[in-house]
Amino acid sequence: MSGPALAETEFLDFSAPQVADFVGAHLDGETEPRRQAVRLFYAVRDSLFYEIYNADFARTAMTASAIIRKGSGLCIHKSIVYAALLRRIGIPARLVFYDVRNHLCSPNLARIMGGDVFHYHCLVALRLYGSWIKATPVFNKRLCQLYKMAPLDFDGRHDCVHHPFDEAGRQHMEIIREHGAFDDHPYQMIIDGLRRAHPGLFAGKSKFRAGSLVRDAGR
């Protein structure tokens, strides 16, 4: 099978050695597509740390290989990596963007963001055995523990989209708007949209201000 959802792109640079090495390290010889997708989901979820602060949105920092080298990023970065890994092993994948309410939003982060709505939250749509499903390999287990949420699990059969409730049953995340699915990272749309929606997050032209979600969780 071929097509745009399998193509190598500027940002989904799956022939890069960092992407190849990541696949080899985490698949451990697994060849069945569903199990491959699940293994790579957990690898991205927990081996790349989720962090909003210090996120780098320079064009060269948004490739899958650069994100793997850094070892951290927010939802957009981690979804780019997962989509690139899937395409490398022949599983069609796209990036899907939403606006969501309460995106791991500490009081400090809400103040900087200008509220509890985060624009351009990203996850991955992947095609397995003829069906498109959605997966969010974003919030790593450690961070979920700190913010009292159960980490998202993925079985390769059902959508794994967002945390609607925290461990106490309180509503945690709500999808407000869908921006659509994309075969490559729509760089200019996202960086311009983030600057408009969250100017307080930026410390410069393309980098978010310094801070720590882990430190915020202890406040």
Q: Say if residue 168's pLDDT is above 80.
A: no
- Alpha carbons 68 and 194: distance in angstroms, whole number: 22
User: What local confidence, expressed as pLDDT, does residue 179 receive?
Assistant: 97
Q: Which residue has the higher pLDDT, 109 or 218?
A: 109
pLDDT at site 25:
96
Longest dimension (CA), the chain: 50
pLDDT (tens digit per residue) in 15-59:
999 999 999 999 989 999 999 999 999 999 999 999 999 999 999
Task: Please state whether the predicted TM-score (pTM) of the whole model is above 0.85.
Answer: yes
What per-residue confidence (pLDDT) applies to 165?
Answer: 54
List the chain domain ranges: 4-213
Q: For the residues 191-195, what does the mean pLDDT come to?
A: 96
- Give residue 174's identity as a one-letter amino acid code: E
Model pLDDT, residue 162: 75
Structure tokens at 134: 């959605």
86 pLDDT above the threshold of 90: yes
Instruction: Please say if the pLDDT value at position 172 is more than 80.
Output: no
Query: Do strands 49-50 and 72-73 pair parallel, antiparallel, or not at all (unpaired)?
Result: parallel
Note the Cα 166 to chain centre separation in Å: 19
| Amino acid identity at 42 | Y
Q: How confident is the model at residue 77 (pLDDT cuts 50, 70, 90)?
A: very high
In the chain, pLDDT over 70 holds for what percent of residues?
Answer: 92
Dump pLDDT digits (tens) for 123-151. Answer: 999 999 999 999 999 988 888 887 777 78
CATH T-level assignment (fold) for domain 4-213: C8orf32 fold (3.10.620)
Question: Smallest Cα–Cα separation from 56: which of 64, 67, 48, 47?
Answer: 67
Check whether 100 has a pLDDT greater than 70.
yes
Q: What is the pLDDT of residue 206?
A: 92
